[in-house]
Structure formats: C-alpha cells, structure tokens
Amino acid sequence: MSYPFKEIEEKWQKIWDGQEIFRAKPDSSRKKYYLLEMFPYPSGKIHMGHVRNYTIADVAARFKMMQGYNVLHPMGFDAFGQPAENAAIKNKTKPDIWTHKCIDWMRLELKKMGFSYDWARELSTCDSDYYKWNQWIFLMMFERGLAYRKASDVNWCSTCQTTLANEEVIDGGCWRCHEKVEQKDLEQWFLKITEYKERLLEDLFQLKEWPERVIAMQTNWIGRSQGVEIHFRAKETGVIIPVFTTRVDTIFGATYIVLAPEHALVKDLIQGKPQEKAALKFIEKVKKESKAVRSSEDVKKEGVFTGSYAINPVNNEEVPIWVADYVLMDYGSGAIMAVPTHDQRDFLFAKEHKLSMRTVIQKPENSRTQEPQELTEAYEGDGAQVNSGEFDGLANQEAKIKIAAWMEQQGIGKIQAHWRLRDWLISRQRYWGTPIPIIYCQKCGTVPVPYADLPVELPKDAPFTGEGGSPLGKVKEFVNTSCPRCNSPARRETDTMATFFDSSWYFLRFCSPEFAAEPFDRQEAKYWMPVDQYIGGIEHAILHLLYARFFTKFFKDLGMLDFSAKDIGGPATSCGGDEPFRRLLTQGMVLKDGEVMSKSRGNIVDPDSIIKHYGADTLRLYILFAAPPEVEMEWDERGIEGAFRFLNRIWRLGEQLPKSGGKKEVSVSLRKKTHRVIKEVRQDLETFKFNTAISQIMELVNEIYQNIDSDITEAVKTAVVLISPFAPHFAEELWQRLGNRESILKAGWPEYDPELLIEKSITLVVQVNGKVRSKIDVPAGISQDKIKELVLADEKLKPWLGGQSPKNFIIVPGKLVNVVI
Ligand SMILES: [Zn+2]
Ligand SMILES: [Zn+2]
C-alpha cells in the first residue's frame, strides 16, 4: 500500500491557499529574502525544464521560510511574443485570448506542483497595467536621449518577419527559429545601452556569487579592448584613414590595409581605377551576407584590391589598400591594418592573394628571425621586436606601450579603447508586444505620447494573416491619430518593443505589482531588492541578464532605487545598489536518452503524467536527487520509483510512531546520526547541494529502521522536517499526524546539538610481550598507524621497550595493543 498522495496534495494546496501562507509583506523587523525564477513564457504547458528550475527555487524558498526569513517568492508570465501570434494565425483565434488561456492552464499546473508562490503578486507582461510602464520607461529614456531612432544595417529574420538585436543572433541564426539571419537597411528604435558599458563591465567583478561562466560571457560580449587608432594616409588624396589595432607592436609588419566594403572612403579609392568594376561587383555581393557568416572562422575570406595605396605613418612605406568581407563596420572604424606574419586570418588572406609579409616579432625559442616564406602559420605569441626601427630588441609587450606613446607624441596615432557592445535594437515588426509610444506628425516630426495618455493600448484584434508586414500597421483606428502638440492628423509608430524589454524590470514590479503611480513603489523596492537568489537557464547569460542590469542602473540614475547590499545582512553581500541579482544559479537541462527533451525528438516526459502516477512530491524529490542543480540530468523512470519508495518508507515510520509508545530507550548512535544529518543537510541546502542533502536524509531513515526497537521519535520528526522543502505536502501531512497543529513551515529549522557530534575517546590497554604495562586514551575511529605512533611516544612504556624498535604490533581495535619486541 502506498501513501495517499493524491488526497494529501490536494488537501494541502487548499490549506496553503486558504491561509495565504506564502503571502509576503514588508516587515522591517525581519530579514528579507527575495527568491526569483526567470518567469515563463506561457506556452500552455509546463515542461520538465520548468519543473526542475522551479523546484530548485521552491526548496530554497521553503528552507529560508523555515529559517525565519521574510521570503518574497513571486511568479508571473512573460506573455508577449511571437508564438501567440503564430497560434492566432494557425488556430484562427486572437493572441490575447490564446495567451490568457495558456496562462490559466499553466497557473493550474504550477499550483499542482505545490510551489510556494505569492499568487497575489502574479503579473502578465501583456496586460496594459504592466506594459503601460514599459512605455513610461521608454519615454523616460527618450527624454534622456537613451532611446533613439536611426537608419542602419540591421539583423533581419525573414521567417519571423522581424528585426533582431545583436544579442538575439546566435551563431548567425535567429535565437527563436534558428533560421539564417540576413542584413537589412531599416530605420529602427535603439536603446543606448553603450552609454552604460563601463559600469556594465566593471560591476561584473562585484558579482562574486554568479557563475564564472556567465561573468566571462558578459565580459566577452561587452568586449573592451585597449589599442591604438593609427592614422594611415591615402597616397593620392592625402585623406586620413583611421585604423584601429590592439597589436600596435606589429605596426612595422603591416604590409596592407583592409577596409570594410561599406566603408565611406571605398568609392573614392576605386574611382577610375582598372579594378573599379570588379570591386563594385564584390561590394554588392558582400552586402547581402550576414555579419555572422562574414566573421565566421570557417568561411574562406574574400577580397579585392582597390587600386590605391596608403602610407604607413611609422616608416612611410606604401601599402596596398584592399576591401574584404571579413572586416565589419561594427568593429573599430571599419578598417584594419593587416600583419600576415602575426595574425592568422591576415596570413591566410595574404597567401591567397600573394601579398607581401614581414616578420617583426621573433619567437623566444628561435635564434634567428624566421623569414616569411618559412612560415606555415602566423605567430601570434610574444617575443622580441625585429625589423621595427628604434624598437628592435624590446619585448613586444613593452614595445606595445612605447610605440603607442611615441605615435601619440608624433601625432600619427591615438591610444583608444574599443568596445564590442552595440546599442540595443528594440523595434519589432510584430503585433503581440508593447506599442512604442511615439507619434509621427508632418509638422512636428517625432513626438512622444504624453505620459498622461499612457497606456497606448494594443488593439485587441488585427488581421493575422502572416503576410504583408506588421498586423498592427493594418489597424486604421490604431495608426491614425492626432498630434499631441499641434493636433493635426498624425500616425502612430506601428513597431512594438522586443519582449526582452518587458523582462528587463519585472523583478522590480513584483515588489509592488499594483502600484499605480510609477513602475514600482520605491519604498517596497528598497525593502525587497536586490533579488537574493535568481535561478534560470544559461541561455540568458547575455540577453536578459545584461538588459536587466542595464535597466537597474538606469533606475538607479533616475533616483528610484535606494538599496544597498549592506542593508540585507545574510550571506556574503557583494553587489552594490545598482545590480539586480546578488546570487545567480543556472540550472542544467533535463535530458532523455542523452538528448534535450523536445517535441520534435518525441522524447518528452509530461510532468502531469508523473504527478498522476506518483504525486508532485515524488517528482520534486526525484528531480533534485538525480543530479546537482547546475549540471545536466538524465531522466530515468527507475529513479522516480526509487523516490516514491523512499517517501513510502518514511510514511510507514510516521504511521508507526504514535503507536510505538514512549517507554523505549533512546539509542545514542541514532541520536548522533540524527544530529550529524541536521548539520550536513543544512550546509547542503545553503550551497544548493540538494542531491547530497537527500542522500543524507536517506541514510538517516536507514539508521532509524536499524534502531526500530528503540525510541525513534526525535529521528522521525527530524526526517519529516528535513524532507519538507523537497516533499512539502507529504511532510505537512505527516507533521499533522504526529500531533502538530501548525504548518510545518512554522516549525523552524532544526538546530543540531554540537555535543552529540564530538567523537568520544576510548582507552586502550597496552601490553609489551603479553604483559600489561600502560593505558592510553585515543580518539574513536583512530587509524592503526596513528595508534603505533602514540604507543611509541608513551613515556610509561619507554623502560619496557628499551629503545628497540618493535618486531610487531598486535592490535585488537577498541581494546588492546600488544607490542612484540
Ligand atoms: Zn526567426
Ligand atoms: Zn504636430
């Protein structure tokens, strides 16, 4: 007979709801703990990835609640986005109706898992009382020049029919549909995230409790590099061509320069040259290629000679000017100097086009300078300068600094930092998103919607055909409006915001979801922020996590945030007043048969079916026992059965306990085990080692069964409390049956008795050749080698051993040592 999980789970979900036990209210007398999972996109069903993410968080939340923290653990829905629109096209419904149906269904499923959410704080980003604040934030940024519109070459996904941010292009493909991304010249809205680049980079190093991998990914994405802008001169016209390099130590080896095909000077350089026609044709071709393909390591680099030359300012040498696909306008000034001997890409390109080379850095292990024709690849490492004029003989790292300073002094170069980070493109040509609150007037130009007119509501309906541009552009009542300044007929912006805008600040809205004066109540945010523990997927390492940091810094600059790590106490407080997430955990994926669960692979296990057969508690316990949170876990049905059997084993103990009477003796070894487990489970929970915490509890349960004839009350109660964050319904029910009237959440987290963890010593009788000569006290569990050492050091034995080294030791553990001499 298994325990009645179905009744128990329904019963406790109702009780928790009725008692509003997870309702969070600010209370300055208590330490707060803000625990957050990356909120889901409401696709309709929760999957195992959700279950894993949210169970990890729920265990942490319940553990903190039982430790007495005032825990904020909210849940909501990242509800705008393309799938709703696609569903509307496919099923002839409206995105609004479809999305709300999905939300209702998902909420139900989340409740069935017994998660400890404060549902009173639920929010959906597609509701106008949420997205109104997106528009408000946009206008605040617009006023400060941080939101602007410009025409530029942007990423375009033809499958999704929309533009994409650089962060949304992954390996040359669209982050959503994985199709190849093209380039298009369009006028679009951008957020000036680059204004915050220094802070976004420097503050990363405060985030001591973030995974190193995420820090490295963001550092790399922001991509600061120190270098020199060198002023090459076009030979015929004398026009300066600025070229950025991080390797100014190799300037004497620059044998050609390369411009991006889009570079403004290219036209002048090729004009009237025999190469003009071929160059124009090449430029047209490259324009259609995506940036990702052009900068990819595996694709062969192509280029053409412009017919013009430039002067290298350090040695007045003439070098040919080329145009090539691998140089992008994004980087530096869209022009590079090429040093084939010390840059592998330049090396391959020079070989292909038979361009000259010169070695300027000598490998430390070589006794002479390698001639370029001897090279099979570029040497990119350190060494001594050669062929570099007055800098010959210097170590190249030193030369880097000296050459840069010398060039500045000569007025032929400038020391500069370059950044990889670009402004964030937020316009999307889709319907299901926040309307950008801008009006275009023939007389006044671009006019922001007045704050008092917010929200600009998204019309509930639009023609969803999947063709012919944004559906919003076809809704006349929406598009046609009047100018807020001069009242003449005007037109609304029909682009909507990227959904990553919505998720850049939702953690602040959770602090006061109904606040009507501003995006969030400053006082409430002061109490709850920052998020103490954030949990979500590594796929957001750059996108969402970078944008959220940017928004938090923006709010700080507006004077709306006033929290500091020092206010919180608790474990190591590292981040300052403008970092939103103190501690980050990125959970691993759930695999089946070695692959990620997905519809197309047909290897999905539906959480619902597991709940039906075994209950939510078993699913929760299993998913945390199977692997540490950060690593991938392989789904194994046998593990589910094991978790279920384990809960039943505890259940039987709980059933037995009230009947077993109180007259039995207490087992010292069981008490010791109980307290050691209390200590270790606590450490494991604090460090998110949930799998080892569970195995500790399993060991305790085994020990209870071994001592079943003694008084097991304390041990069983402890096991029930310790298992409660993992299997909360189960534990609540047993707790009640053990005679407790309040929720187990109020039971407090058990403290261990340090006395019980001290290992007692034992006394060994020591004989020499069979005769008792001494007694020594040793710690329990001591090794035989250690015993021999102590015996030899015993003063009382010295006369009997007479300085000889013994022939043998006969050790009877725990009792006696006989030394044979
Ligand atoms: Zn796409
Ligand atoms: Zn006007």
Residue range 794-819, pLDDT digits in tens: 888 888 887 778 888 988 887 889 99
Give the Å distance between the CA of 424 and the centre of ligand 2.
28
Torsion angles phi and psi, residue 427, rounded to 5 = -70, 135
User: CA-based angle 309:313:316, to the nearest 5?
Assistant: 65
* Listed residues: CB within 5 A of ion ligand 2: 441, 443-444, 483, 485-486
Taking the C-alpha atoms of residue 582 and residue 84, their distance in angstroms, rounded to an integer, is 33
User: 526: Cβ–Cβ under 8 A, 6 or more apart, which residues?
Assistant: 561, 562, 563, 567
Determine contact, residues 255/356, Cβ cutoff 8 Å. yes
Give the Å distance between the CA of 486 and the centre of ligand 2.
4
Give the Å distance between the CA of 155 and the centre of ligand 1.
10
In tens, the pLDDT along 195-232 reads 999 999 999 988 989 999 999 999 999 999 999 999 99
Neighbours of 338 (CB within 10 A): 26
Ligand nearest to the CA of 487: 2
Confidence label for 374 from pLDDT (cuts 50, 70 and 90): confident
Ligand nearest to the CA of 446: 2
**pTM confidence score:** 0.83
In tens, the pLDDT along 616-640 reads 999 999 999 999 999 999 999 999 9
Sign of the CA dihedral 322, 326, 329, 333?
negative
Beta bridge pairs of residue 234: 310
* Alpha-carbon distances of 717 from 297, 662, 711, rounded to whole Å: 61, 14, 12
Give the Å distance between the CA of 174 and the centre of ligand 1.
5
Give the Å distance between the CA of 474 and the centre of ligand 1.
22
* Alpha-carbon distances of 447 from 452, 595, 730, rounded to whole Å: 14, 51, 59
In tens, the pLDDT along 299-310 reads 778 899 999 999
Window from 521-530, 565-574, 791-800 with minimum mean pLDDT: 565-574
Confidence label for 661 from pLDDT (cuts 50, 70 and 90): low
Determine contact, residues 132/513, Cβ cutoff 8 Å. no
Confidence label for 130 from pLDDT (cuts 50, 70 and 90): very high
Sequence letter at residue 538: I
Answer whether residue 668 shows pLDDT above 60: yes
Give the Å distance between the CA of 148 and the centre of ligand 2.
19
Q: Higher confidence at residue 386 or residue 159?
A: 386
Tell me, what's the pLDDT at 657?
Answer: 80
Determine contact, residues 624/59, Cβ cutoff 8 Å. yes
Ligand nearest to the CA of 169: 1
Ligand nearest to the CA of 83: 1
Give the Å distance between the CA of 451 and the centre of ligand 2.
17
Confidence label for 331 from pLDDT (cuts 50, 70 and 90): low
Tell me, what's the pLDDT at 663?
Answer: 67
Tell me, what's the pLDDT at 576?
Answer: 62
Give the Å distance between the CA of 186 and the centre of ligand 1.
17
Give the Å distance between the CA of 94 and the centre of ligand 1.
21
Taking the C-alpha atoms of residue 38 and residue 77, their distance in angstroms, rounded to an integer, is 9
Taking the C-alpha atoms of residue 556 and residue 364, their distance in angstroms, rounded to an integer, is 50
Torsion angles phi and psi, residue 170, rounded to 5 = -115, 120
Answer whether residue 127 shows pLDDT above 50: yes
Confidence label for 660 from pLDDT (cuts 50, 70 and 90): low
As given in the structure block, the two tokens for residue 470 are 């944004």
Answer whether residue 574 shows pLDDT above 80: no
Mean local confidence (pLDDT), 747-757: 92
In tens, the pLDDT along 74-111 reads 999 999 998 888 888 888 889 999 999 999 999 999 99
Answer whether residue 57 shows pLDDT above 80: yes
Give the Å distance between the CA of 151 and the centre of ligand 2.
22
Give the Å distance between the CA of 169 and the centre of ligand 1.
9
Ligand nearest to the CA of 178: 1
Window from 6-15, 435-444, 494-503, 556-565 with minimum mean pLDDT: 556-565
User: 627: Cβ–Cβ under 8 A, 6 or more apart, which residues?
Assistant: 588, 633, 634, 691
In tens, the pLDDT along 715-750 reads 999 999 999 999 999 999 999 999 999 999 999 999
Taking the C-alpha atoms of residue 763 and residue 755, their distance in angstroms, rounded to an integer, is 20
Ligand nearest to the CA of 82: 1
User: Helices 607-614 and 95-112 sit at what angle, rounded to 10 degrees?
Assistant: 30
Per the prediction, the chain carries an average pLDDT of 92
Give the Å distance between the CA of 128 and the centre of ligand 1.
26
Tell me, what's the pLDDT at 548?
Answer: 98
Give the Å distance between the CA of 450 and the centre of ligand 2.
13
Give the Å distance between the CA of 610 and the centre of ligand 1.
33
Give the Å distance between the CA of 438 and the centre of ligand 2.
12
Give the Å distance between the CA of 142 and the centre of ligand 2.
18
Report for 323-337, 467-481, 508-522: range of highest mean pLDDT: 508-522
Answer whether residue 325 shows pLDDT above 70: yes
Neighbours of 407 (CB within 10 A): 21
Give the Å distance between the CA of 335 and the centre of ligand 1.
31
| Site of tokens 């973030």 | 210
**What is the SS3 assignment for 11?**
helix
Give the Å distance between the CA of 485 and the centre of ligand 2.
5
In tens, the pLDDT along 340-353 reads 999 999 999 999 99
CA Rg, the chain, in Å?
35
- The residue among 498, 486, 426 whose CA lies nearest residue 149 is 426
- The residue among 90, 108, 221 whose CA lies nearest residue 543 is 221
Give the Å distance between the CA of 415 and the centre of ligand 2.
46
Ligand nearest to the CA of 441: 2
N-terminal to C-terminal alpha carbon distance within the chain: 64
Ligand nearest to the CA of 484: 2
Confidence label for 571 from pLDDT (cuts 50, 70 and 90): very low
- The residue among 161, 158, 179 whose CA lies nearest residue 429 is 161
Q: Are strands 256-259 and 317-324 parallel, antiparallel or unpaired?
A: parallel
Give the Å distance between the CA of 489 and the centre of ligand 2.
8
Tell me, what's the pLDDT at 257?
Answer: 96
Mean local confidence (pLDDT), 469-493: 94
Answer whether residue 572 shows pLDDT above 50: no
Give the Å distance between the CA of 158 and the centre of ligand 1.
7
- The residue among 52, 31, 40 whose CA lies nearest residue 585 is 52
Give the Å distance between the CA of 474 and the centre of ligand 2.
22
Tell me, what's the pLDDT at 734?
Answer: 96
Answer whether residue 69 shows pLDDT above 90: yes
In tens, the pLDDT along 776-788 reads 888 877 888 888 8
Give the Å distance between the CA of 46 and the centre of ligand 1.
23
Ligand nearest to the CA of 488: 2
* Alpha-carbon distances of 433 from 78, 181, 428, 745, rounded to whole Å: 11, 21, 8, 40
User: 505: Cβ–Cβ under 8 A, 6 or more apart, which residues?
Assistant: 133, 137, 519, 520, 548, 551, 552, 555
Burial-class residue 377 by CB neighbours within 10 Å (0-12, 13-18, 19+).
Answer: exposed
Give the Å distance between the CA of 367 and the centre of ligand 2.
75
Beta bridge pairs of residue 226: 417
Give the Å distance between the CA of 481 and the centre of ligand 2.
11
Instruction: Find the Cα–Cα–Cα–Cα dihedral 294, 297, 303, 306, rounded to 10°.
Output: 80
Tell me, what's the pLDDT at 476?
Answer: 95
Kindly report the three-state secondary structure assignment for every residue of 386-442: CCCHHHCCCEHHHHHHHHHHHHHHHCCEEEEEEECCCCEECEECCCCCCECCEEEEC
Ligand nearest to the CA of 164: 1
Answer whether residue 392 shows pLDDT above 60: yes
In tens, the pLDDT along 685-722 reads 999 999 999 999 999 999 999 999 999 999 999 999 99
Burial-class residue 298 by CB neighbours within 10 Å (0-12, 13-18, 19+).
Answer: exposed
Residues of the chain above pLDDT 70, percent: 97
* Listed residues: CB within 5 A of ion ligand 1: 157, 159-160, 174, 176-177
Window from 201-205, 357-361, 576-580 with minimum mean pLDDT: 576-580
Answer whether residue 122 shows pLDDT above 50: yes
Length of the chain equals 821
Give the Å distance between the CA of 7 and the centre of ligand 1.
45
Beta bridge pairs of residue 240: 233
Give the Å distance between the CA of 453 and the centre of ligand 1.
33
